Amino acid sequence: MQPVRSHLCLAFLGLIGMSASSAQSSVTLYGLVDSGLRYSQVSSETVKNVSNFGLAYGTQSGNRWGIRGVESLGGGNSAFFQLENGFDLGNGTLGQSGRLFGRAAWMGLQNTSWGDVRLGRMTNLSSDWLVKFVDPFAGDLNQLNMGHAFTSGNTLRLSNVLMYRTPTFSNIQAGIGYSFATGLSSNGGSTGYDFATNNNSRQLTIGAKYAAGPVFAVATYEKAFASASTDASGMTVSNWNIGATYDFKIFKLSAGYGQTRDGFWAGSGAGGSGATIPTMPSGNNLAVEFVPGVGYNSYIVGATIPTNSVSRIMISWTMIAPNTAMQDLYSASNQNSYNLGYYYDFTKRTNLYAYVGQSSNYATDSDAKSTVIGVGLRHQF
């Protein structure tokens, strides 16, 4: 009887395997831990050469853990989702203003022919497609990244989003999304929802990208709408960007240009606790502000230079150039940032990083300057 039982067990296990395979479903737990040392020094009219040195967390990439999954529904259709938590590695507290899944929380449907639809909390297309691919630092390293100047792409997470992305046709993909309530602080508006759409700040995000061989090109458009319950009722902030990279093999060149009008989104932070200055033009820390007439142009030129198969150097220059209205408002000056970074991969999951960056006329304040220097270790799982 023993051989019969063995055969039956094997057959049963085979049926289970066939069932799992036919369902074509999977759930993946993943995450990332990042820590290091950082020195930062900032100065402005109100902050005189304040500096600090100590532990820094989530510098190359924000600390996180997440769950993502997909299940085939047949006929080329599938359901998929992502839940991603952000946390402070130093003390274990939640990130993203205490949200359990503040980095991402969405679900949707996808089809091989018509693309995908997503609903929930996610990053906008300027963050996903412009900064992630054009920036030599891929949106990492805080002050050094492209979002420091292209502020609408500064890893901007929007809540209550309905997003559609096409499949890739002839190397081109497009997307459009609308947030019914962004959850961003802006001009005193509510960060809630409660279906009172007009009483919340809302945002439209549109993008298209092209990738073929050594060429990558992208264009994005962002437009935020002020809450009707504030003094900014009826106001909007608009932004458009273009960017491209070309891989010459010995190095990859990056360049981009953008325009922001009638307000601004927040830029990247300047330093750690005890050494920080406002992250936005006009000297405040709101996520988005509506100011008619005020605007700026954004620029980036950068390069990624492989030094060998496991290491690379990244360099970039970014600039925010205020328009006349911003200059008249508070004598705004061009913010110039010079950035240098180095990555060394011990394995595919673990790497060392080092960086130095300096911004003059930080937040377009002619008296402000910020310098950051650091080293760290990142492990992915």
pTM of the model: 0.88
Least confident span in 65-74, 125-134, 266-275, 298-307: 266-275
The pLDDT, as a whole number, for residue 191 is 56
Alpha-carbon distance 206 to 302, whole Å? 24
Radius of gyration of the CA atoms of the chain, in A: 23
CATH 2.40.160.10 is the classification of domain 26-380: yes
Give the residues across from 312 on adjacent strands. Answer: 306, 343
Residue 129 is encoded by which pair of tokens?
Answer: 């497609």
pLDDT band at 22 (very low <50, low <70, confident <90, very high): very low
How many helices (H) and strands (E) the chain has is answered by: 4, 17
CA distances from 183 to 43, 129, 148, 291 (A): 31, 21, 21, 19
Among 14-23, 246-255, 263-272, the range scoring the smallest mean pLDDT is 14-23
Q: Which of 177-191, 193-207, 234-248, 250-264 has the lowest mean pLDDT?
A: 177-191
Q: Please report which confidence band the pLDDT of residue 86 belongs to, taking 50, 70 and 90 as the band edges.
A: very high
CB within 8 Å of 356: residues ≥ 6 apart? 339, 340, 341, 371, 372, 373, 374
Share of the chain above pLDDT 90, in %: 71
Domain ranges of the chain: 26-380
Looking at per-residue confidence, does 315 or 188 come out higher?
315
DSSP string, 84-111: EEEB-TTT--B-GGG-TT-SEEEEEEEE
Structure tokens at 33: 């831990």
Q: In which band, very low, low, confident or very high, does the pLDDT at 331 lie, cut at 50, 70 and 90?
A: confident
